[in-house]
Amino acid sequence: MTESQRALAMRIGLTGLVLLLGMVGAVALHYVAEVRDARRDTPDLVAAAFDQFGSELTLDDLSVEREQMLLAVQDPTFRRHRGVDLATPGAGMTTLTQALVKLLYFPDGFRQGVAKIRQTLIAEYALDALVSKDEQLRLFLNIAYLGHEEGRAVHGSADAARTYFGEEFQDLGDDEFLALVAMLVNPNSHKPGTRPSRERLERIRVYLAGDYTPTALLDQEYRAGDSRPGFAARMLMALLRIITDADPESA
């Protein structure tokens, strides 16, 4: 390679580096703005959600034992994490806080992929930073999506109790309550009384009894076997750990 060719290659390399850094900087500024806007909008979004779906249930309607059941399945480190948990076996990639972010900040629906970055950043730096854990749990009880029934979206545990069991939430038995919890992984395919619901409910009972220990982050079905994420999921989790302070050893 001649001296002029080496100089040209160096200029091209430097130009590419500058362009790459510029792109990274632009993306970073974009997400900084997203989080800033989310923090600004959070109080109004929470109030609007209660206005739309109601605030019928309070934490007094959820016994300590049932709160423990719900969190053990849905978000084991809810009371300790800052909106994100990418380490706890069985937790999956969506905390209770992140589930709320889907409902509050994605009015046109949530699609997996790049949206996961925005969801995760908002969960840690906006919703969890500004809304107490008790308020998040109360919000979840009242607005969580629990399937469609007869063409109508079911939101909140009170609505779900009446829709699927014909009972008030406070009157549900433990098995009925757990059937609602079992729905959360996939509300429309795990409706109470269906085969997927019964099978998942049995695995949840085994897990809650301490007779099964999840083997990996994505082992939400409590089944022995390979629940390791694929390459794309591993890369996404690595990126999410970088852009948040989610320490894989601390959860």
Question: Beta strands 145-149 and 152-155: pairing type?
Answer: antiparallel
Whether the pLDDT of residue 114 is over 90: the answer is no
Mean pLDDT is lowest, of 19-33, 131-145, 147-161, 222-236, for 19-33
Whether the pLDDT of residue 160 is over 70: the answer is yes
Q: Strand, coil or helix: what is 145? A: strand
Query: What is the pLDDT at residue 7?
Result: 56
Rounded alpha-carbon distances, angstroms, from residue 5 to 9, 11, 19, 56, 160: 6, 10, 21, 73, 70
Residue 69 CA, chain-centre distance (Å), reads 17
More confident residue, 11 or 221: 221
Quickly state the pLDDT bin for 22 (edges 50, 70, 90).
low
Quickly state the pLDDT bin for 77 (edges 50, 70, 90).
very high
3-state helix, strand, coil in the chain (%, to 5): 60, 5, 35
Two tokens, residue 169 = 């939430």
Quickly state the pLDDT bin for 251 (edges 50, 70, 90).
very low
Half-sphere exposure at residue 106, Cβ-oriented, CA atoms within 13 angstroms: 19
**Distance separating the N- and C-terminal Cα atoms of the chain:** 53
Q: Strand, coil or helix: what is 154? A: strand
More confident residue, 122 or 111: 122
Q: Which of 210, 211, 220, 166 is nearest to 190 (CA)?
A: 220
Quickly state the pLDDT bin for 250 (edges 50, 70, 90).
very low
Domains present along the chain, CATH in parentheses: 41-243 (1.10.3810.10)
Q: Strand, coil or helix: what is 188? A: coil
Mean pLDDT of all residues belonging to the chain:
87
Q: How far apart are CA 250 and CA 145, in angstroms?
A: 30
Two tokens, residue 96 = 């209770």
Residue 84's CB is within 10 A of a number of other CB atoms, namely 26
Residue 26's CB is within 10 A of a number of other CB atoms, namely 9
Mean pLDDT score, 45-67: 96
| pLDDT tens digits, 190-245 | 999 999 999 999 999 999 999 999 998 889 999 876 567 777 777 777 878 887 76
Give the predicted TM-score (pTM) of the model: 0.84
